[in-house]
Amino acid sequence: MVGFIWNFPTQARELLEEALEKHPDFAKLWMMRGQLEEERGDIAVARDIYNRGVKKIPNSVPIWLLLSRLEERNNNITKARSILENARHKNLQTPELWLEAVRVEVRGEKKSIGMGLMAKALQECPSSGILWAEAIFMELRPQRKTKSVDALKKCEHDAHVLLAVAKLFWTERKISKGREWFQRAIKIDPDLGDTWAYFYKFEQQHGTEAQQEAVRKRCNVAEPRHGEAWCAVSKDMKNWQKHTDQLLPLVANSLPIPM
């Protein structure tokens, strides 16, 4: 289906419209329909589709995020903020929406506002691993260790937090410790592709070829399906036919070295 959309956009548009008439509560259809228009550069139509989508399915977080990011990419920051605030009112205690709101401010070089939002986010979602993982790296270096201890107290079995701790040791060039925490994160959740990609990038920088190959082989066996960075690559229309062994280096290359 994805390949068809990529190669035959006009026919795909007609099929998606027909599918939406029959299945208007299927969020994935709204997402695919809007992304098709974004690929074509028709921002106004994409915006309309996402707006229709969130009205029909207000609990679909991915559609809210697509709508917000569309506005942000087109320099409508105030609109993006408003969309995320509206989304949070309709979807209480949803970490992904808080995280995006924080990142909008950080990307807009308003980190102090982002820090304030993060504090509110952790009050509303105190056990969210994705929020704590982000919070660690929002701190200045001297405060990161303390924040990581707080994170582990709240969600010690969350792979996102364990990954953040591994990255923290990476920034401190504590290689053995970093490797140990990558292993812990993988053991907790082998389906989180971001961990595999960061671990592979880590071994590319600090490991041997044998260690890199070991990560590749284990990742192929695990066949991860989740993770923000992993899905950004794996669900890209250009990569729809690629397998795990092809996706791993692509995701790793897309990641920044932790600072």
Extract long-range pairs of 79-84: CB within 8 Å, 24+ residues apart.
80/104
* Ranges of each domain in the chain: 157-259
Task: Measure Cα distances from 233 to 127, 242, 248 in Å.
Answer: 27, 10, 9
Kindly report, residue by residue over 61-97, the tens digit of the pLDDT.
Answer: 999 999 999 999 999 999 999 999 999 999 999 999 9
Distance CA 176, CA 239 (A): 33
Which tens digits make up the pLDDT trace of 207-220?
Answer: 999 999 999 999 99
Q: Average pLDDT of the chain?
A: 95
Nearest to 247 by CA among 234, 238, 237, 257: 234
Model confidence at 112: pLDDT above 90: yes
Q: Tell me, what's the pLDDT at 134?
A: 99
State whether CATH 2.60.40 applies to domain 157-259.
Answer: no
- On the question of pLDDT at 109 being above 70, the answer is yes
Report for 14-23, 129-138, 234-243: range of highest mean pLDDT = 129-138
| Confidence check: pLDDT of 3 > 60 | no
Dist CA 188 CA 129 (whole Å): 13
Mean local confidence (pLDDT), 165-192: 98
d(CA 179, CA 169): 9
Band (pLDDT 50/70/90 cuts) for residue 8 is low
Entry pTM: 0.93
